[in-house]
Amino acid sequence: MKTIANISLGSDRDDYDFNTQFMGQDFRLLRFGANGDSDKAAELIKEWDSRVDAIGLGSFTAPYGLGMKGLKRREAEKLNRLRKQLSSPLTTGDTLREVSHEWSIRHIQHKFGNNYFNNKRILFFSGMITTPLARILSEYTDNLTFCDPITENGIPKFLTSMDDLKLYAKGLHDILGWLPSKKFSNFAFPIQNYNDFLISKAIQEAQIIVAPYYKFYNYLGRCGLKELGRKVVITATAYDDRVNFLKERGVDMIIDTTPKIMEKVVGVSVLEAMIMAGLDKTPETLTSDDLLEVITDLRMDPRVIYPQGEARRVNRFAFVVYPLSREYLKNFKPVKLASKFSPKSGMDAIEKIAAYSPPFIYSKVTGVKSPTGVEAEGWLIALGATPRQMLAHGPEFLNNRLLKATEMAKNMGAQIIGLGTLTKPLGDAGETVAKLSNIPVTTGNSYSASAAMWAAAEAVRKLGLIKMDKGKKMKAKTMVIGATGAVGSVCCRLLATAFDEVYMIDIHHAELLALKEWIMNETPEVNIQISTRADKFLADMDVVILTSAAMKGKNAIDIHTVKPGCVITDVNRPLYFTAKDAKKRPDVLIIASGEITLPGEPEMRDIGLPPGVAYASLAETIVLALEGRFENFSVGRNMEWQKVSEIYKMGLKHDMQLAGISGLDGPISDTDFKRVRELAIKSRKPSRQKKKSSPSKSRKK
């Protein structure tokens, strides 16, 4: 049997003495805590030297992974001098620590969809001690914050990149080591209080906390539920007392980079000592390849602990909202206040000024939870420009503001951002923003098209005026106005699979011809008609999808000419039709596109919809967040057919449901459907006078 002694500066309450098997060999493991007394630790090392097969040092300050070469050389020389004085091999576990740190992060990243750490906000109490972790995590996110200047030297300053950390390690850290007495924070009590405040706030804003094993309680001891609630903590050698400590403070997940391969938790230095003894190696002859082989053979994966009892994952998103009209502008407090003291004509100036305002946080979104257990939370980022102002300034004006919004979203830790249905002002349907953004982008157009069809199909079913045979196409006429747009083109393709006849209306002649050819190749049995004039066919349509409000003059939509019982889905924002228009034709059903009911118990500020209901473009962003699909999804005018189908299926997976169908002045009830149906049937019947010939004319015949 081989014996390993763990000499630690930590508390002796964690001491142990037990036998175990490892690498097919019998081991006895002993731990001796020195309670922070370095002299006692030195005595324990001398006492157990030559009596054990290897000694693992625990809770000693780990050698820094960064710093001036002279500093690192001095640390290595100290350790080598100590080793030369001993008969038993001695290790601090640094070789295994570096390998296990990298393996832990890469393993978790892969295990949870290869995107777990993407753009997460991560706080390091000591980047100097946990440099290997910082290096690996920096491959997945730029949102890194290092507390080293505060925790080591009391300087109220954070480092925010690996370059900052390297600069600090090479210069300032070494210089401060020559200070003759106390650290900066001890010179003035108020500075210490201010530093504590800074760290507390930084912890609250972070999503992942990296806490070194060494001085674990020094770093986290003052933290409570406010700081650590719903956080992920990365640490090493998480003894039961540390797990319980984090559990009491509401931590959702602990990633322990030290694998637990025995019933008892032991430190990384002990594991390395066991590997050395098992392979008959010394610290000088043990290589990274040796460790990789053992880790692979024994499946020494990192521990993932859920202190609250259930696995929890939260993905984050951002979504751009904007005022649909001047009235919507008043939802923004500064505008609401200014409008009270301005004449009606003053709203012109307010609208123009608001268009130049920088993006700002309109609302936090929380409580979205999929049946799969994954949660999504995010931010609604507001632009001040109304659609009229966007169109007046052109695509470049909007692109610049959207890029500022994407940068804001990135800094907050969003992993994807939705641009909303801004394709008309954007010009290229988000392609420019997607190319320049630091996080993935979607416009929401795929789900908007899917939801529009979803709502139209449900409305047709409830109205009951079109015969629907299962497995067969509906014998009805459908029209898409704005057919060549990003949403319109997909709507045309969807309608072609469900209806006999599709009429495509747009002002772009060549694009109409190309779209017709495309659809005929996909569904050759459908009857496709194209035109630049909506009024030419409008009176015969059973279903109309309105995706563009740019039809003017002869192409304007006259509500009086629409067929009784027609279902009109208005995808425009702001809507093309008004509640006043709807009252002119009570025998026609106008629905405000398709809104989506979000899963869970979502909370956010008012966006003009009932609680828990979102526009389809926002729902697409949330679906992608829940699915962990952090990629440019609906971007560009040539929308991919596959993605429309894909987002619909993903939505169902995460329990996205079509909200109760809404009209122009609120939800449409079953009574409303019945009334429209009855009026439509009545309007379609020829008048009795036309149907019945006059008696005088009959006699003449």
Note whether 66 and 162 are same-domain residues. no
Nearest to 320 by CA among 394, 390, 392: 390
pLDDT for the residue 297? 86
d(CA 579, CA 293): 71
Percent of the chain beyond pLDDT 70? 86
Residue 517 domain flag: no
Shared domain check, 136 and 55 = no
pLDDT at 698: 45
Distance CA 322, CA 149 (A): 41
Q: Where does a domain end: 92, 107, 125? A: 92
DSSP string, 461-494: HHH--S---TTS-EEEEEEEETTTSHHHHHHHHH
Task: Determine the structural domain holding residue 329 and report its residue range.
Answer: 313-465+565-701
pLDDT of residue 701: 41
**Where is mean pLDDT largest: 55-64, 173-182, 184-193, 673-682?**
673-682
Asked whether residue 494 is domain-assigned, the answer is: no
CATH at residue 121: 3.40.50
Least Cα distance to 520 among 487, 497, 547 occurs for: 497
341, burial (CB in 10 Å: exposed 0-12, middle 13-18, buried 19+): exposed
Start-to-end CA span in the chain (Å): 122
DSSP 159: B
According to the model, what pLDDT value does residue 67 have?
55
The answer to whether residue 180 scores a pLDDT higher than 50 is no
Tell whether 365 and 388 lie within a shared domain: yes
Please check the confidence at residue 177 and state whether its pLDDT lies above 60. no
54/555: higher pLDDT: 54
Distance CA(624)–CA(630), nearest Å, equals 7
What is the arithmetic mean of pLDDT over 216-221?
93
Q: Could you tell me which residues come within 8 angstroms of residue 57 by beta carbon, excluding any fewer than 6 positions away? A: 7, 8, 90, 91, 92, 93, 269
Cβ atoms of 153 and 49 within 8 Å: the answer is no
Q: Domain ends where: 75, 92, 109?
A: 92
Judge whether 87 lies within some domain.
Answer: yes
pTM: 0.82
10 Å Cβ neighbour count for 597?
Answer: 18
> Of 76, 86, 78, whose CA–CA distance to 56 is shortest?
86
The answer to whether residues 603 and 679 belong to one domain is yes
Lowest mean pLDDT among 67-81, 309-323, 616-630: 67-81
Residues 299, 180, single domain; the answer is yes
The C-alpha angle with vertex 132 and arms to 129 and 133, in degrees rounded to 5, equals: 90
Please tell me the number of Cα atoms within 13 Å of 624 on its side-chain side.
31
Q: State both tokens at 640.
A: 């991919």
* Residue where one domain finishes, among candidates 76, 92, 108: 92
Residue 389 and residue 244 in one domain: no
The one-letter amino acid code at 369 reads K
Task: Tell me the average pLDDT across 688-694.
Answer: 47
CA distances from 637 to 46, 168, 489 (A): 74, 47, 9
- Do 28 and 173 lie in one domain? The reply is no
Whether 559 is in a domain gets the answer no
Burial (Cβ within 10 Å: 0-12, 13-18, ≥19) of residue 194: middle
pLDDT of res. 79 = 66
Average pLDDT rounded to a whole number, residues 276-301: 88
What is the distance between the alpha carbons of residues 624 and 417, in angstroms, rounded to a whole number?
10
Indicate whether 317 and 299 sit together in one domain: no
Residue 398 maps to a domain: yes
What tens digit of pLDDT does each residue of 200-218 get? 999 999 999 999 988 899 9
Residues 177 and 112 in one domain: yes
Over residues 232-243, mean pLDDT: 94
pLDDT tens digits for range 631-657: 999 988 776 778 888 999 999 999 999
Q: Is 643 part of any domain?
A: yes
- Residue 689: how many CA atoms within 13 Å on its side-chain side? 0
pLDDT-based confidence at residue 178 (cuts at 50, 70, 90): very low
Q: Does 688 score more than 70 pLDDT?
A: no
Q: How many domains does one find in the chain? A: 3
For the chain, what is the mean pLDDT?
85
On whether residue 671 sits in a domain, the answer given is yes
Helix (H) or strand (E) holding 364: strand 360-369
Paired with 208 in beta bridges are: 122, 232
- Bridge partners, residue 504, by sequence: 480, 530
Same domain, 108 and 229: yes
* Long-range pairs, 161-169, Cβ under 8 A, ≥24: 162/134, 162/135, 162/138, 165/66, 165/127, 165/128, 165/131, 165/134, 166/66, 169/64, 169/66, 169/67, 169/68, 169/128
**Three-class SS state of 415:** coil
Mean pLDDT of the 247-255 span: 97
* Listed range (14-18, 264-268, 321-325) with the worst mean pLDDT: 321-325
User: How far does CA 16 lie from the centroid of its chain?
Assistant: 43
Task: Calculate mean pLDDT across residues 48-58.
Answer: 92
Residue 172, H or E segment: none
Banded model confidence at residue 249, pLDDT cuts 50, 70, 90:
very high
Task: Please tell me whether residues 323 and 398 are part of one structural domain.
Answer: yes
Residue 616 inside a domain? The answer is yes
pLDDT for the residue 632: 95
Cα 545 to Cα 572: distance, rounded to the nearest angstrom: 10
Residues 167, 188, single domain; the answer is: yes
Section 504-529 average pLDDT: 93
